[in-house]
């Protein structure tokens, strides 16, 4: 990887320090007043994706409860393993999606340019991490993704109660992801050690080097597993952190 010039290093360090100062509340001129959790939540609900995911989550919960009440086979205790397994696997799933789908390099296959909406929106998100609408999963993608989970769940699980339990878990985790990602990019001040580590991790990805720190809802989990959790002091600031794949001509 090409080492950035001292000027680029200094600019990135200033950006990261200024953003951290503003969010954490450190003293300094021009710092914005941090927002409360309630204000952040109300702003979060102005976006379409929480409502879309929330609607599918509500429908899945209602359906699961109804099936449990009226069906002869109302479910089994093994279904409790579904949310536990998904939560355990989610850091890896999140890492793979971030690397393979969101950081997809546009490429041409014959006359066709292969470049998904998710990848294009994510490049725009890197170009301006403070643009809140770009923080959320595009509603156009959710229009097909949320119903697709229903098909996958029905095919993957042998019983209807199990499939509905899987859907409840998937939609709940997806809503949790949207909230966490939004909060990290908002003006909410980190208060807990866990949230501060998640916040710091994601800002390093956006302001230091886009080739590391891919997890969003956790810090030091799947990144440690896949070797993308280095000491920030040992990593050169990437000149393409705001222009993904720019050196590749994309």
Global pTM value: 0.84
Asked if residue 13 has pLDDT above 80, the reply is no
Domain membership of residue 79 (yes or no) is yes
Region 1-9: mean pLDDT is: 54
pLDDT tens, residue by residue, 127-186 = 999 999 999 999 999 999 999 999 999 999 989 999 999 999 999 999 999 999 999 999
Q: Which domain holds residue 55?
A: 6-26+33-248
- Banded model confidence at residue 11, pLDDT cuts 50, 70, 90: low
| Residue 189 confidence (pLDDT) | 85
- 80 belongs to a structural domain: yes
The CA distances from residue 205 to 17, 65, 223, 228, in Å, are 14, 40, 11, 10
Residue 240 lies in a domain: yes
How do 107-109 and 112-114 pair as beta strands? antiparallel
Residue 221 contacts residue 106 (beta carbons within 8 Å): no
Does residue 1 lie in a domain region? no
* Angle, helix 160-185 to helix 193-207, in steps of 10 degrees: 70
Q: Where are the beta strands (DSSP E) in the chain?
A: 107-109, 112-114
Q: How far apart, in whole angstroms, are the C-alpha atoms of residue 49 and residue 42?
A: 14
CA separation for the pair 8, 12 (Å, rounded): 6
Structure tokens at 96: 């793979």
pLDDT tens per residue, range 216-225: 999 989 999 9
Q: How many domains does the chain have?
A: 1
DSSP 9-54: HHHHHHHHHHHHHHHHT---TTPPPPBPHHHHHHHHTTSHHHHHHH
- For the segment 24-65, what is each residue's pLDDT rounded down to a tens digit? 444 343 344 578 899 999 999 999 999 999 999 999 999 999
In angstroms, the CA 94 to CA 74 distance is 31
Query: CA 167 to CA 82: how far, in whole Å?
Result: 10
DSSP assignment letter at 188: B
* Domain-located, residue 16: yes
CA gap 33, 250 in Å, rounded: 38
- Among residues 221, 243, 1, which one has the least CA distance to residue 124? 243
């Amino acid at each position: 990887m090409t080492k950035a010039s001292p000027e680029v290093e200094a600019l990135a360090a200033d950006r990261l320090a200024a953003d951290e100062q503003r969010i954490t509340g450190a003293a300094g001129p021009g710092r914005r007043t941090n927002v409360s959790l309630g204000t952040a939540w109300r702003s979060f609900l102005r976006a379409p994706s929480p409502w879309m995911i929330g609607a599918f989550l509500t429908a899945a919960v209602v359906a699961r409860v109804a099936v449990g009440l009226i069906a002869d086979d109302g479910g089994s205790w093994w279904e409790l393993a579904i949310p536990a397994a998904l939560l355990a696997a989610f850091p890896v799933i999140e890492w793979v999606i971030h690397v393979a789908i969101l950081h997809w390099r546009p490429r041409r296959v014959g006359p066709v340019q292969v470049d998904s909406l998710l990848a294009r929106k994510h490049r725009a998100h890197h170009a301006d991490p403070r643009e809140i609408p770009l923080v959320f999963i595009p509603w156009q993608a959710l229009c097909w993704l949320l119903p697709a989970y229903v098909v996958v769940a029905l095919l993957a699980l042998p019983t209807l109660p199990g499939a509905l339990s899987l859907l409840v878990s998937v939609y709940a985790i997806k809503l949790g992801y949207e909230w966490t990602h939004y909060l990290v990019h908002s003006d909410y001040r980190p208060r807990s050690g866990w949230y501060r580590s998640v916040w710091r991790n994601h800002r390093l990805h956006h302001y230091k080097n886009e080739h590391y720190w891919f997890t969003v809802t956790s810090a030091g989990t799947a990144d440690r597993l896949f070797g993308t959790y280095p000491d920030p002091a040992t990593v050169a600031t990437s000149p393409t952190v705001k222009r993904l794949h720019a050196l590749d001509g994309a």
